[in-house]
Amino acid sequence: MSLARKRENSVVSHGQTRPGGRSARVQASVHKATTELLEEIGRDALTIPAIAERAGVTPSTIYRRWGDLQELLADVAVERFRPEEDPKDTGDARKDLELWVEAFAEEFSSAPGREMIRDVLAGRSGAEMPGAGKPGKCSAYTKVQIEEIAARAKARGVPFPDTTAIMDHVIAPLVYRILFYEPPSAELVRSLIATVYELSLETAT
């Protein structure tokens, strides 16, 4: 089991649901119905009754569990941040980081990607305690992937920047640009990574 997989399990919690129980099945089918309908009819036409019908549950099941559509969308969006596989291992940790961050920037720069970040932030739990709520889960998923690459670098005895520095000086500027002004280019990704390497090498000497 990889580091990413192990940490992921400790980070992810489905609240009250027992895996494999009825509650988990309801969650899975409601998430699936939401994702499908988002693609088919788009978010403006999306309603809880339509999702309920597709998922084979009653609307009141959805209202009881999620409260409203916004909260359900936030939940679905968080799941999309969950890593599906370990970052690619090319044998060169810096290259792995570049590839992983480029894919991250590309995914979240697209219109549906930006929508996902906005959904995560718009969810109720985002309002009070960012660290404990859905946004905190998303940044934890991102960190886990970076730490996986860091662990490989460490195993090979190669210097690698601190995860916090990568979050502050690579991930944060990308997410800020995606949300506030312009989709970042692959060149920008590489230049931010060069900056964070520079910063970490200085601290090391």
Binding footprint of a second copy on the chain (CB under 8 A): 111, 114-115, 118, 121-122, 126-128, 130-131, 135-136, 138-139, 167-169, 171-173, 175-182, 192, 195, 198-199, 202
The CB-of-171 to a second copy minimum distance in angstroms stands at 7
Please identify, using beta-carbon distances, which residue of 94 and 169 lies nearer to a second copy: 169
Let me know if 152 is exposed, middle or buried by CB neighbors in 10 A (0-12, 13-18, 19+).
Answer: buried
Q: How far is the CB of 20 from a second copy (least distance, A)?
A: 31
- Retrieve residue 61's tokens: 């099941």
- Reduced to 3 states, what is the DSSP secondary structure of residue 159? coil
- Residue closer to a second copy, measured from CB, 52 or 113: 113
Question: Which of 57, 63 has the CB closer to a second copy?
Answer: 63
Distance in Å, CB of 115 to a second copy, minimum: 6
Could you tell me the smallest distance in angstroms from the CB atom of residue 169 to a second copy?
Answer: 6
DSSP string, 108-146: HHSHHHHHHHHHHHHSHHHHH-TTTSHHHHHHHHHHHHH
**Residue whose CB is less far from a second copy, 52 or 100:** 100
Q: What angle do CA 19, 76, 99 make, to 5 degrees?
A: 100
How deeply is 55 buried, as exposed, middle or buried, from its count of CB atoms within 10 A (0-12, 13-18, 19+)? Answer: buried
